Chain A
Amino acid sequence: MKGETAPTVIQSLREYARGVAGGLMFSLPLLYTMEVWWTGFIAGPLRLLLYGLATFVLLLGYNHYAGLHDDSSWSEVLIDSVEELGIGLLVSVALLWLIGRISSEMSLDEIVGKIVVEAMTVAIGISVGTAQLGLSGDDEKKKETSAPNEVRFGGQLVIAACGATLFAANIAPTEEVVAIATSLSVAQLLALMLLSLLLTALILYYIEFAGSKRFVSQNGLTSVLIGTITSYATALAITAAVLWFFGRFDQVALFTALAETIVLGLASTLGASAGRLLVQ
């Protein structure tokens, strides 16, 4: 029976390579953004530790609900998540060094900070890449056998959170979020919220987006309302956490923080709806 024996070395190498490709695909914009490098030394060690911990929890959730191995036990999920985080660290060391962002003259503080900030998105990318980019027979079988009845509310929320993080983390470090947030009126912010909700509902329920039939329960207006609102709320919560990590809430008024969350929430809710359907 398949799955009872260990994979061959070639098979595992292929899987790792797919993961690295996915990791780079999702995090290259971040590796090439200076605000992200700066966050490495502006955010203190405590914030970096929390970011690492949150990423690890997301990886556990994603690997459990959408990971490559359908029948994974928690020990396998744990091992997969540790590997993804480790490879994420390795990939970001290699790339940061290749693009000249870390060197031996820098303090250990600065080097480790930069690596940690970048490695977290790389790790989520690796997780998504390993599970999604494969085309081998096993994966095809997995797609067919993961039946709609396996879709659980909690699992969907976790995967929505992963999608939202990938999208939010790519924009949150930039100055533009603050620039937009501080220039918008209340009416414009409300319009952005409305647009975010509308997009979420359309993607999840009305435009036959890939995977929506399989992963989203489609019975009646109530489920549309509940699904849309929980998806958007998840996106907003993730947005706020990511903005806080990148220091965008430091020394700003509460209203500005809220405005930033709404502005970036549009990107995150796309991640939580469209992104979620694509990464599982």
Chain B
Amino acid sequence: MKKPKKNWLEWSVFALSLVLILATAGILIHEQLSLGEKPAEPHLELGRPVARDGYFAVPVTVVNRGDETAANVHLSVVLHLPDGAKETAEFDLPYLPRRATREAWITFRQDPRAGKLEPRVLGYQKP
């Protein structure tokens, strides 16, 4: 077999490419082996409310603890005030990849610190 004629640049590019390909394949194989059958499982976590000009904003973190991607994730947070009044904030995520985290903000007109916040995942689809 003829020995390929290459300069140092070409050999370096080849070596780098080989490392990249093997690393990528390695990550994919590792993922495949560690991936379970657990369906998508979105989970909501609320941060500390912040007063803004005329409203209150609450940071929201959505985590998918499952091994599958969830699509059209519909989420809501209900604010229960001490006087029995309720205020609901809702939002959607087009996609929540497996084991991924997404950050969002929801807003209320009344101060969430005065009441109790109830996060809910209303529904989601298989992509």
Binding site for B on A (CB under 8 A): 3-9, 12-13, 16, 38, 41-42, 44-46, 48-49, 52, 73-76, 79, 82-87, 89-90, 105-110, 112-113, 115-116, 247, 251
Contact = CB atoms under 8 A, between A and B. Distances in A.
B35 A12 contact: no
Contact of B14 (A46, A74, A82): A82
B9 interface: yes
Contacts of A89: 17, 20-21, 24
23 contacts: A9-B8, A13-B9, A38-B127, A42-B69, A42-B127, A45-B31, A45-B32, A49-B25, A49-B28, A52-B28, A74-B1, A75-B2, A79-B6, A82-B14, A83-B14, A106-B100, A107-B97, A107-B101, A108-B27, A109-B100, A112-B24, A112-B28, A116-B28
Contacts of B32: 44-46, 49
Nearest to B100: A107
Contact of B95 (A38, A74, A75, A251): A38
Interface of B: 1-2, 4-10, 13-14, 16-18, 20-21, 24-25, 27-29, 31-32, 35, 69, 95, 97-101, 103, 126-127
A110 B97 contact: yes
Nearest to B19: A86
Nearest to B64: A107
B17 A85 contact: yes
A109 B98 contact: yes
B25 A52 contact: yes
Nearest to A247: B127
B5 A83 contact: no
Contacts of B7: 6-9, 12
A252 B17 CA distance: 38
Nearest to B17: A86
B80 to A, nearest CB: 31
A6 B20 contact: no
B28 A82 contact: no
A82 B18 contact: yes
Contacts of B127: 38, 42, 247
A277 to B, nearest CB: 29
A90 B12 CA distance: 14
Given A76-B2, A112-B27, 20 more contacts: A4-B5, A7-B5, A7-B7, A8-B7, A9-B9, A12-B7, A12-B9, A41-B98, A73-B1, A75-B2, A75-B4, A79-B4, A82-B14, A87-B13, A89-B20, A107-B99, A108-B27, A109-B31, A109-B99, A109-B100
Contacts of B20: 86, 89-90
A195 to B, nearest CB: 32
A41 B29 contact: no
A109 to B, nearest CB: 6
Given A46-B32, A112-B27, A76 B4 contact: yes
A58 B68 CA distance: 30
Given A87-B13, A109-B31, A75 B1 contact: yes
A83 B13 contact: yes
B34 to A, nearest CB: 9
B68 to A, nearest CB: 8
A69 to B, nearest CB: 9
Contacts of A44: 32, 35
B2 A73 contact: yes
A150 to B, nearest CB: 19
Name the residue among A42, A79, A86 with the largest chain B CB count within 10 angstroms.
A86
Contacts of B28: 45, 48-49, 52, 112, 116
